[in-house]
Every structure is written in structure tokens, then in C-alpha cells.
Amino acid sequence: MTLATIDIGVFTAYVLGIIGLAYWVSREKAGHDKNTEDYFLAGKALPWWAIGASLIAANISAEQIIGMSGSGYVLGLGIASYEWMAAITLIIVGKYFLPIFLKKGIYTMPQYLEDRYDHKVRTIMAIFWLGIYIFVNLTAILWLGALAIETIAGVDVLYGMIFLGSFAMAYSLYGGLKAVAFTDIIQVVLLVFGGLFLSYVALNQISDGQGILKGFGIMTDKAPEKFDMIFDPSSPHYISLPGLSVLLGGMWIMNLSYWGFNQYIIQRALAAKNIREAQKGIAFAAFLKLLMPLIVVLPGIAAFILAPDLERPDQAYPTLMNMMPVGLKGLIFAALVAAIVSSLGSMTNSIATIFTMDIYSYYKKDKSQHHYVKIGRIVSFSAMIIAMICARPLLGQFKEAFQYIQDFTGFFTPGIVVLFFMGMFWNKMTTNAALAAAIGSAVFSLIFYLVLPEYPFMDRVGVVFLLCVGLSIVISLLERKPQEKAVDLGDIDFSTSSGFNISAVAVSLILVALYATWW
């Protein structure tokens, strides 16, 4: 696929527009210098619409668009569970987790761990997350994003990474989270519009111009197996989506870890004006997650009908893009790049926040706010350079890099959920029990991986979580130490507005309807 001159023009206008908008929203009043709250938490003044849009923009990247479209091509609508179950997870996070985090007034997730346990836990987890974010997440976004650009526009992977990294730094480095969050509004509008238009064109083409409803009907008739949401054990796809575990098992653990305890995601909610604004933003994001399968899964199923002989499933999305008319192709390409660079900007800002606030400031306590912001910018830039250098050596040999990354992070996910969840809602949880759960997660997962390699990934996550819960309970009861830092739940206001409650009911009913329709 190549881009026509008008497509390149559209894309160039998008790049310049995002950079210009970022600098405009990042400007400060005369005489005011950015402090750490301004740079890392957007001055704790983000409105709900910016929070919701930024949550989705940070979440959706090239590996999700290309990868989930490819999974839609192979698995069908079942892969949409990752999106739809995330919607109800967001509601839970907004109702039960955010009130605790915002009451503590924290900048980072490791900071909460010190508040609940001790500085040792904070430091260990801060170093762990920095390693994961730089050498797993950031490298993956860069590498898979550059591969997508190479597939679509023919740009060499190295130059693609340089462009993506430079673009992300150009609009996010100066303004910090505020620049990222407010430009994410444009990024999400572009992503949603571009994705929906791609689905529209594909469905219309399936029906030979007779409309999208006709096209959808033809698609369900020709490939009814692509609309099964829950696979039984006889399905060849069971190992990827193991039946009811999607609704009742390990996916909950994965989602709670990602949406509830992940600095990269939750930082937007920590930057809210207040708890009500944060919860409205979370609800907005939940509705957007319900919409995502139309953008990232449906195109893959449509590609199965229009181009059933693709060599690789990840060619599904680029193949559909090639069907777009001149001009709009550039807009769709801009939407894909928007998804990549918004994730890069979010990730580097979170890396800078953790390093500066959890590690550097502990050893350099008496520095100025300007100094800490400067360190944050240096760390953001350095993390991007390190990721560019390491991306090919770490991921270049893998044909399915995203699957390897999911499997690797899944080793630690159960322990992270136990670390936070038990610490928040069980006042007897001790520091040693928390560390044992974190270490046990990796050990138990490795044993499962080596002894039962065919055991479904999602089931493994669920079983390891239960083992870690049991381990933490046993150690805590054996130690019998009074926990002075335990969360006083009686001091936390878990009440929510009527608007949030209505949103929660609406999201739940929509999910029930979706699963009832395509069970």
C-alpha cells in the first residue's frame, strides 16, 4: 500500500495540528513555572471528557488495532470480550478503587504501596514497573507500531520507530500529562471516526453497495462461526478464549490489574478535578470500550469475507485500509498513527512520573519543583531512546510479539492484583505477605508454564491468583502483626452520583444483551 499525495497532505496536517494543539494547551500564565503536579498530574484539573478520552487513547495502540483485527479474522467476535469485559471493569474501578486512591492524594501506584505497606515495597515495585514499561510495553508499542507503518506505507521499521518516537516526544515532552490528555481528545475522535468509516466501507462492499445492514447480514450468513462469543473445549480457539473463564475467570484478574493498578492507565483518573469528575470520565471510557469492537474486531471479520486467503491474519486491517478512497486513506492512516503516538506519549509520561516521584525524589529530597520537572523530561526522552535501541533485539525474532508480551506480563499480573486488592480490602495483610504474593505469582506461573504448557493462559492467571491469595492469607495470619497502615474503609466515601449509577446499569444491560445475542 502507498499513500497518494493528498493522503500525505492530510496526514501532515494532522501531525502539525497535534503538535500545535499540544503546545497551546501546555502554555502557562506569565511568571508561572510548571511544578510536579502540573507536569505529572495536569494540575489535578482534568475534566471528565479529557479523562475518558485519554484512557481510551492510552489503551488503544497499533498492536491492539492490527492484532485484534487479526484475531477477529481468525477467532471472530469472541475476541471482543477483551473490550466488553473491560467496560464493566472500569465501572468497578470507578466505584471501589478510585475513592481510595484519590483520598490518599497519590501521584503513583508505588506511592500507594508505601502508604499501605512500606518503602521497600514501593521501591521494588517502582523498579519492576520501570523495567516492564521500558523494556516490554514501550518497546512493543514502538516495534509493532513501526511494523504496522511498514506494512501500510512501506516505511522501513527503523525510520518508522524514529518517526513515531520523535512525534510522541514533540507533542508530549514539554507539556507532560496535560498535553497528552487534551490532545488525546482529538486522537480518540480521529480513531473512532476512522475506525467506524473503515467498517462502514467494508460492510458496504460486502453488500455490493446495498448498505451496512445488508452487509452485516451477509457476513453473519457466510461466517456464522465468527459470531460465537463463548468457545467450548472442542473449539480450536479454546486455548485462546477458554469458555466461561472469559466471563468468570482469569480475564477479571487481567482487567483489574490493567485498569485498576496500572500507572500508565490510572494516572489520568488521579489527575481529575475531584472524585465525581474522575468517575464520570471512567464511565465515559466504559461506553467507548463497548464501541471498540466495531473499530478493531469487525474489520477483521469483514476482511475474512472480502479477502479469505491472506497469508497472515495481521494483514486484515491494512488490506481494508487499501480499499479506502484517496484522501480518506490518509485520514485512516492518521487514526492508526494517533493510536500509536498517544500510547507512546502516555507511557513515557508514566515512566517519568514513577522514576521522578518514587525513586529520584527519595534520594534528592530538597530540590526545586522546576528541577523535578526537568528530570521528568530527561527520563521521558531517555526511555524513548532506550526503547528504540532495544526494540529490535528484544522483539525482532518473534513472529507473534504481542502474544509473547501478554504471556510474559501474565506471570506477574495475579501477584499485582493480590498486592493491591488484599491491601485495600483486608486490614490484616502484611508487608511480607504482599511480597510473597508478588514473588509467588512469578514462581507459580513459571511452574504452570513448564509443566502444563497447553493449559490456557487465562485459566493459568485465575488459578495463580487464587494460589497467591491463599499464600498471602497464610503468611499474614502466621505473622499476626498489627497493621497500622491498613486502609480505614470507614473513612472512604464509596457513594456515587446518580449519573454514574445509571451508567453502570446501562453498561451492564448492554453487556447482557450482547452476550445473550451472540452466546
Question: Amino acid letter at 270?
Answer: L
- Long-range residue pairs from 253-258, CB within 8 A, at least 24 positions apart, any chain: 253/413, 253/414, 253/417, 253/461, 253/462, 253/465, 254/410, 254/413, 254/458, 254/461, 255/85, 255/86, 255/89, 256/89, 256/92, 256/93, 256/417, 256/421, 257/413, 257/416, 257/417, 258/86
Per-residue confidence (pLDDT) for residue 395, from 0 to 100: 75
How many whole angstroms separate alpha carbon 241 and alpha carbon 75? Answer: 9
Cell of 98: 478510585
Per-residue confidence (pLDDT) for residue 366, from 0 to 100: 83
Per-residue confidence (pLDDT) for residue 398, from 0 to 100: 61
pLDDT digit string (tens) for the chain, length 519 residues: 567 788 889 888 988 988 898 888 887 776 667 788 888 888 888 999 999 999 998 888 777 788 788 888 888 888 899 899 999 999 999 999 999 999 988 999 999 999 999 999 999 999 999 999 999 889 988 988 888 888 778 889 899 999 999 999 998 888 888 888 888 888 888 888 888 888 998 999 999 888 899 999 999 999 888 888 888 888 888 888 888 888 888 899 999 999 999 998 899 999 999 999 999 999 999 999 999 999 889 999 999 999 888 888 878 888 888 877 887 888 888 888 888 888 899 899 999 999 999 999 988 888 888 899 999 999 999 999 999 999 888 877 665 555 566 667 788 999 999 999 999 999 999 999 999 999 999 999 999 989 998 888 889 999 999 999 999 999 999 998 888 888 888 889 999 999 999 999 999 999 999 988 887
| Helix (H/G/I), strand (E/B), else coil: 272 | strand
Which domains are seen in the chain, by residue range?
37-400 (1.20.1730.10)
Per-residue confidence (pLDDT) for residue 401, from 0 to 100: 56
Cell of 415: 501477584
